[in-house]
Amino acid sequence: MTKRIPVLLVLLAILPALIGCQESPAANQPIHKLIITGSSTVAPLIADIGKRFEAQHPDIRVDVQTGGSSRGVADARSGIAHIGMASRALHPQETIDLLATTIAQDGIGLIVHADNPVANLTTQQVIDIYTGKVTNWQSLGGMNAPIVVVNKAEGRATLEIFLHHFHLANSAIKADVVIGDNEHGIKTVAGNPQAIAYVSIGTATYDATAGVPIKLLQLNSIPASLATVQNGTFPLSRPLTLVTTKHPRPLAQTFMTFATSPHVQNLVIQHSFIPLPS
């Protein structure tokens, strides 16, 4: 027993060396790494596009990290990432030094529980609901029940686009629930017949067809669907973009050309987004 202690210590000492050995490069050719960070809405799509890209370019490794659109823009600017992902168009002051390449379109739709009789809201009604001027569904043609307002957490592109479209300040919104990602919002609405939320139309369509008890509301009598976003009639739409500096590296340029090519169109549709017109 007593003799074992030094043996253990020796083992502990050489362990890092053993682990270090495995990290030595196995392949002869150098591997180029392409780092992409940003929007959690775009990331799953880019991860899939990245896999297809890697299959065509075995010497390139695509590394996708999520962190929100603001992070994507900041990382592309500072050079931490080769490409940033953003689920919104660039702000005017961002276009001075950055370049955005649209890879797909997405819409933002208002959702309620499937049991809610309300099917359409006007822009003014949405503003009244979110600023707390209307607090009962009855005045909107629904049941006699309080409205549970679901808002997005600070820093999300969905929130920015929603506020911008309805000309609201976030501090003016009287929310009952603040959510993180789309799925959290959909689960909240599915479990609460009085709730109203706004989420990615792609995600909502996908979940509603899968049997989740939610429905997308019409906005000013325009149905919220992938078709109306595609033909431009639905007002709340946004581009999903890849952001780089004005002069991207050749590797980043190759990837963006690939991500906007018809080779990835089926992946875009698979993720319930609207592909670029071919």
Partner 1 sequence: MFKTWSSSIPSFPYHRDQLLRWALWSCASIAGLILVFIILFLILESVPALRHLGVNRFMFDPSWHPGENTFNLMPMILGTLFTTIGAIALAGPIGFCSALFCHCYAPPRLASLYGRFIELLAGIPSVVFGFWGLVVLVPLINQWHPPGPSMLAGILILAMMILPTTSLLAQSSLAQVPTEYLRGAAALGLGRWATLRRVVIPAAKSGLWTAALLATGRALGETMAVLMVCGNVVQIPSSIFDPIRTLTANMALEMAYAVDDHRSALFVSGVVLLLMVLILVTAANWSNRVPRHV
| Residue of 170, 233, 257, 270 interacting with partner 1 (CB under 8 A) | 170
Contact 271, 202 (CB under 8 A): yes
Q: How far apart are CA 252 and CA 35, in angstroms?
A: 9
268 binds partner 1 (CB under 8 A): no
165 binds partner 1 (CB under 8 A): no
Report H helices in 2-122.
4-22, 43-56, 68-78
Tokens of 229: 């976003």
272 binds partner 1 (CB under 8 A): no
171 binds partner 1 (CB under 8 A): yes
| Residue of 99, 175, 222, 269 interacting with partner 1 (CB under 8 A) | 175
83-86 vs 32-38, strand pairing mode: parallel
Smallest gap from residue 67 Cβ to partner 1 (A): 5
Residue 99: in which H helix or E strand, if any?
strand 98-113
Contact stretch for partner 1 (CB under 8 A) within 89-97, 153-161, 236-244, 253-261? 153-161
Looking at the chain, the number of H-run helices and the number of E-run strands are 10, 12
Contact stretch for partner 1 (CB under 8 A) within 46-54, 143-151, 198-206, 247-255? 143-151
User: 231 in helix, strand or coil?
Assistant: coil
User: 125 in helix, strand or coil?
Assistant: helix
79 binds partner 1 (CB under 8 A): no
177 binds partner 1 (CB under 8 A): yes
Contacts with partner 1 by CB under 8 A lie at: 2, 5-6, 9, 40, 66-71, 74, 145-146, 148, 151, 153-156, 169-171, 175-180, 184, 187-188, 191-192, 194-195
